[in-house]
Structure 1
Amino acid sequence: MAGVAGGELAAAVHKAGGIGFIGGGHTPLNSLKAEVDKARSSIGLAADDDLPASLGVGLILWRLEPPFLSPEAAATEPDRWLRYVLHTARASSLWLAFPNGGDWEGWIARARRIEAERERSDKVRLVVMVQRVETAKEALEWDGVDAIVLQGTESGGHGPAHEFGAPLASLTSHLASHVPNPASPPFVLGAGGLSSASSIAAALAPGVLAGVVPGTALCVADEALLPRAQKELLVHSSTSESVRGMSWDEARGTLGWPEGVDGRGIRNKTSEEPPKVAGSEEGRERYSRAVKEGDVERVVTWAGTGVGDVKRIAPAEEIVRELMAEVVGSPQL
């Protein structure tokens, strides 16, 4: 959750019994370092302590690849980031998302190679997020993967466009015969429209998913990085106001996403503009002013279809407990 999942939110989810991830790759490395420091401070870790497996780091991979980076930079930046995450931040869980070229196995091998450069007591838990059943089936066979996040079109933020992906229930159904035992790794986790205890219980009921990944519900946590005005907007928005498109990315100039990926957020003036208008020089200037002014009528507020179930701003621990209220046992995030 770029711009939302910082160190304090990840630490709060960890304390609540879930698995919290700090979002990285979308801002300079120093920003990620600051958020990792916040997480360490929040749970009382020393600088040379490994982060617990339930407090990890996630990376948006296309930002570390060509054409976003020059070939020269792309030859060194991925290793630099992974060495920070695995050696300096000492993360024990790593979430990889959105490689532009689809070279998942290359990224997995790179992460394992960097991991092996430092002695550690436990193996790093490696999570990959995919948007298609075909890719999920392949991922079940990839060496080195511990968990797969299956992302449906209901997901807020960036995810599968309607013509590329499918709702989570459909993805889960088509993958069912390939997951004989959800309690065995690699675990399959579901993402998309899961902002209430009942929706989570329904997603887990078929016995395919080992856990769930709520996003929108935690955007309104006290600890989330999202500005207060956008949290208030989420609380007062309905499911019908959650829409997919590329106009926000055109206006922001964030156009390196892999094929078939667009963004889902709360409908506003920017999303109603055709992409070419939003991405024009005038459109980008207009959006930049809106960011400075905190204008939620133009600035994107990412949100999935579960936004209609988001009713209040609250501490992350309370949100996690409420989300898992209908599931027996510990929180599965």
Structure 2
Amino acid sequence: MASGNLLHKWFPTAERPLVISAPMFTVANGALAAAVTKAGGLGMVPAGMDPSATSPHLAALDEHLAVASRILAESDRSSGSAGGDGILAPLPIGVGFLTLLATPEAYRANALPVLRRHRPAFVWLFGSDPAGYGPLIELFHEAGAEWGIKVFVQVGTVEAAREVVRQGADVVIVDALRGEDEFREGRGKEVAVVAAGGVVDGRGVAAALALGADGVAMGTRFMTCPEADSSSFVRNAILSTSDGGATTARSSINDAIMGYPTWSNLYAGRTILHSGLEDIANGVPIERVHESFKTAMSEGDGKRMITFAGTGVGLAKKLQPAGETVHEVRAEALAVIARLKGNY
């Protein structure tokens, strides 16, 4: 059984309660990740979904990690200094891989050299059938054994969580955690649980901890930070949206509308409502919806823009640097916990 200190044993720069910035493709970057880590959280950078030899995603990953490393090297939390044995400590940054397309061989040939160059503390895997993560988990564990890399896997159900624990995941990221964390017992190893989905402020963090999480991952709140690569439209859409339960919807078709591979029905991204989803519901072919999206992008038609956001989107109300966000959310969570302890 994992203890509440497990994540902090693995990631000693992190403070409690632990806040992780999600590896948002096209949004997260080295500056955002470093700011979160410097504030006592764990920052992440995206690796995209293309690990081919000429992948622009891996080229961007290389730059993201280089930027994060440079920023952290200038702070007291730098992980780049050598220890007494002369071995470099891992970079306290995570890398998020969208695994829906690639093979272990492609990762071995093209992604692992980038990881070995920068030594990130962990990787986050998302997009495969839960039964198929074993080879990737083994691959990343072996590649990063020298610096103790950890493997996070994001899932959406308790059964999927049990499956990835059986295959060797160190951390399970659970969307919509409901306290059903008996899947921690697996393969005789310690497993940590991170809650994701709808967490935007300290109240959400406190609730996730009460349900058994060891930490939380946040995406929507960090999309409005100045360090993020979000467009002005995305920032404005998030800040102007209220009641995420009524103004957002889950669909596996959003990426296809934008021209990316269609996700399986196992996964569905949540977005602020847009005209493309209405078209799909009315039977408009995906090819036409995609063309309409491209036209909207060139013309600035907000009705067809796609903004990924969780159900807590209505709680994101201000532009705020990432480090300040981490400090504020942590302080709110601790205040809630203290108040509850005093009342009961």
Give TM class, smaller chain: 0.7 to 0.9
Q: By how many angstroms is 1:304 displaced?
A: 0.5
Q: Is the 8 A contact 2:32 2:322 kept in 1?
A: yes
**Cα offset, 1:21, TM superposition:** 0.8
Structure 2 match to 1:127 = 152
> Is 2:241 the counterpart of 1:237?
yes
Q: Corresponding residue for 2:13?
A: none
Count residues with an aligned counterpart. Answer: 291
Residue 284 of structure 2 is aligned to residue 277 of structure 1: yes
Q: Of 136, 139, 145, which aligns to 1:110?
A: 139
Distance 1:80 1:53 in 2: 21
Among 4, 17, 25, which residue is 2:48 paired with? 25
**Alignment pair present for 1:149 and 2:173:** yes
Return the alpha-carbon distance in structure 1 between the equivalents of residues 205 and 43 of structure 2: 17
Aligned equivalent of 1:266: 272
Superposition map of 1:251-262 within 5 A = 251-262=257-268
Residue 318 of structure 1 corresponds to which residue in structure 2?
324
Instruction: State how far apart, in whole Å, the 2-side matches of 1:136 and 1:62 are.
Output: 17
2-structure distance, mates of 1:250, 1:213: 25
- Over the aligned positions, Cα root-mean-square deviation in angstroms equals 2.6
Match of 1:36 in 2: 65
- Aligned residue for 2:7? none
**Structure 1 residues 149 and 246: CA distance shift in structure 2, 3 A:** closer
Shift, 1:44, TM fit? 2.7
Please tell me whether the aligned partners of residues 253 and 263 of structure 2 are also in contact (alpha carbons under 8 angstroms): no
Matched residue SS, 1:283: helix
- Residue 62 of structure 1 aligns to which amino acid in structure 2? L
CA contact (8 A) 1:85 1:91 kept: no
How far 1:234 moved relative to its partner?
0.1
Which residue of 2 is the match for residue 78 of structure 1? 107
- Cα distance between partner residues in 1 of 2:304 and 2:89: 37
Distance in 2, matches of 1:321 and 1:247, equals 35
C-alpha spacing 1:292/1:98, structure 2 compared with 1 (3 Å): same
Q: Deviations over 1:208-251 (max 9, x none)?
A: 11111111111111111111221111011011211112442332
Rounded to whole Å, the distance in 1 between the matches of 2:231 and 2:162 is 38
Indicate the larger mover: 283-292 or 313-322.
283-292
1:202 corresponds to = 207
Q: Which one of the candidate residues 85, 96, 121 is aligned to 2:125?
A: 96
Name the stretch that deviates more: 53-62 or 210-219: 53-62
Which whole-Å CA distance do the structure 1 matches of 2:253 and 2:112 have between them? 35
Q: Secondary structure at the match of 1:4?
A: coil
Structure 1 residue ranges without an equivalent (≥5)? 66-74, 153-167
Aligned to 1:192: 197
- Once the two structures are superposed, what CA deviation does each residue of 1:174-194 show, in whole Å capped at 9, x if it has no partner? 32x4448xxx93110100110
| 8 A Cα contact 1:237 1:307, kept in partner | yes
Taking only the aligned residue pairs, the percentage that are identical comes to 29
1:55 lines up with 2:74 in the alignment: no
**1:48 positional shift:** 7.8
For 1:179 and 1:325, how far apart are their aligned partners in 2? 28
Q: What is the DSSP-based 3-state SS (H/G/I as helix, E as strand, rest coil) of the residue aligned with 2:101?
A: helix
Structure 1 or 2: more helix by fraction:
2
Secondary structure, counterpart of 1:36 in structure 2: helix
The 3-state SS of whatever aligns with 2:303 is: coil
The residue identity in structure 1 corresponding to 2:195 is: G
Measure, in 1, the Cα distance between the counterparts of 2:249 and 2:170. Answer: 32
Give the alignment of 1:293-332 within 5 angstroms.
293-328=299-334
- Between the aligned partners of 1:278 and 1:195, the Cα distance in structure 2 is 35
* Cα deviation 1:153-183 (Å, max 9, x = unaligned): xxxxxxxxxxxxxxx32xx2x32x4448xxx
Q: Distance in 2 between matches of 1:101 and 1:30?
A: 27
Structure 1 letter corresponding to 2:313:
V
SS where residue 64 of structure 1 aligns? coil
User: What is the CA–CA distance in structure 2 between the aligned matches of 1:37 and 1:293, rounded to whole Å?
Assistant: 35
Letter in 2 for 1:305: T
Deviation at 1:47, TM superposition (A): 12
Q: TM-score, normalised by structure 2?
A: 0.77
SS in 2 for 1:190: strand
Which residue number in structure 2 is paired with residue 216 of structure 1? 220
Question: Counterparts in 2 of 1:286-297, with a 5 A limit?
Answer: 286-297=292-303
